[in-house]
Amino acid sequence: MDSANPNPILSLGPFQGITDAPFRNVFRQHFKGVDKYYTPFFTGIQKDHAKNLQTEEIDPAYNDICTLTPQILSTDAAEILRFAHQCKARGYKAINLNMGCPFPRVANKKRGSGLLPYPEKVAVLFEKVFESIDVDFSVKCRLGYFNADEIYPILDIFNRYPLSELIIHPRIGKQLYKGEADVEAFKRLMPLVKTHLVYNGDIVSKGSFATISQAVQPVDEFMLGRGLLANPLLAEDIKGIVNERNRTERLHEYVVALYEDRLHHAGGSPKVLGRMKELWSYLMNSFEEPQTVWRRIKKLNALKEYEDAVEDIFKEIPVML
């Protein structure tokens, strides 16, 4: 089936522990097709000079501020406004609020998707934020936390304010990442959303993009997640961007470049292996024998062992891209 939209806007969803600034920069150098990026969520912005704001994560010297939106996980209007102010001072035009994180340690505190069952709290929060926010404000959310009807009163609140975009991942928080994204539920929401709507969930191939984009017409913007981590060529494939170079070689070069960049930033510390393993837990799906790939990678704790394993994997196990 042909995709409904030959020229969609594509973004890379944020992944805590994977899609940090080094990842985004190396990814952009190696692959085309991704128009927008989001930082993994920030928390704990208790002061203007909070430590995590001083890192390269939103430093304009190290990021493309035109294509990057910083994300915050918070239910505190003062904190959100402080974050917005700090982002604006660095040149960013927008921030994104995370109302989708499903992890119990977050959701149990009524944060992330855990805020969705509490429209009265959301109403108070949005009233305070929109009193003085002076950058674009977008939201990423799920259908609910306990059930998929929770979104309806929340949409009523969103519709009172000039949100710059709304990204909906049609699962509920309790599901975590299990089951399937509910495209039908997303479709039911489409006529109710007043701002620019973005679809996110389960786009893993050109085929699944074609099916989903057809179903949610005329939505023109899609956030890619695990599908793009597994296959970094996915955005190029969806957009029909032709590159004559060998796909396995491109994948290999990217994995090595990301590792070297991380290693450089970490001053040679084996800590980088944690983040590389996180990526491999998705990337393995692009190889013919994912479990063999994962078994070789997951236990490694020494840099040299990791480097040798990566070379062996690319020599011995065919890539299926």
Ligand X SMILES: Cc1cc2nc3c(=O)[nH]c(=O)nc-3n(C[C@H](O)[C@H](O)[C@H](O)COP(=O)(O)O)c2cc1C
Residue among 88, 226, 252, 265 that touches ligand X (CB under 6 A): 226
**From the CB of 73, what's the least distance to ligand X, in Å?**
7
Give buried/exposed letters for 147-166 (b at 16+ CB in 10 A, else e).
ebebbeebbebbeeeebbbb
Q: Which of residues 139-178 bind ligand X (CB under 6 A)?
A: 140, 169, 177
User: Residue 8, interface with ligand X (CB under 6 A)?
Assistant: no
Stretch that binds ligand X, among 8-16, 185-193, 244-252, 306-314 (CB under 6 A): 8-16
**From the CB of 71, what's the least distance to ligand X, in Å?**
6
User: Residue 179, interface with ligand X (CB under 6 A)?
Assistant: no
Q: How far is Cα 125 from Cα 73, in angstroms, rounded to an integer?
A: 13
**Number of H-type helices and E-type strands within the chain:** 13, 9
Residue among 14, 114, 170, 232 that touches ligand X (CB under 6 A): 14
Q: How far is Cα 233 from Cα 207, in angstroms, rounded to an integer?
A: 14
Q: Specify the residue for token string 């340690």.
A: 105
Binding mask 95-114 for ligand X (x = CB under 6 A): ---x-x--------------
| Residue with smaller CB distance to ligand X, 26 or 181 | 181
Tally of CB atoms within 10 A around 257: 16
Tally of CB atoms within 10 A around 32: 12
Stretch that binds ligand X, among 76-84, 126-134, 222-230, 293-301 (CB under 6 A): 222-230
User: Residue 202, interface with ligand X (CB under 6 A)?
Assistant: yes
User: Residue 37, interface with ligand X (CB under 6 A)?
Assistant: no
Q: How far is Cα 132 from Cα 319, in angstroms, rounded to an integer?
A: 51
Residue among 8, 22, 33, 40 that touches ligand X (CB under 6 A): 40
How buried is 120 (Cβ within 10 angstroms: 0-12 exposed, 13-18 middle, 19+ buried)? Answer: exposed
User: Residue 227, interface with ligand X (CB under 6 A)?
Assistant: yes
| Residue with smaller CB distance to ligand X, 105 or 264 | 105
| Residue with smaller CB distance to ligand X, 170 or 314 | 170
Q: Rounded to the nearest 10 degrees, how much is the dihedral formed by the CA atoms of 256, 64, 84, 144?
A: -60
Give buried/exposed letters for 217-247 (b at 16+ CB in 10 A, else e).
eebbbbbbbbbbbbbbbbbbbbbeeeeeeeb
Query: Which residues make up the interface to ligand X (CB under 6 A)?
Result: 13-16, 40-41, 71, 98, 100, 140, 169, 177, 200-203, 224-227
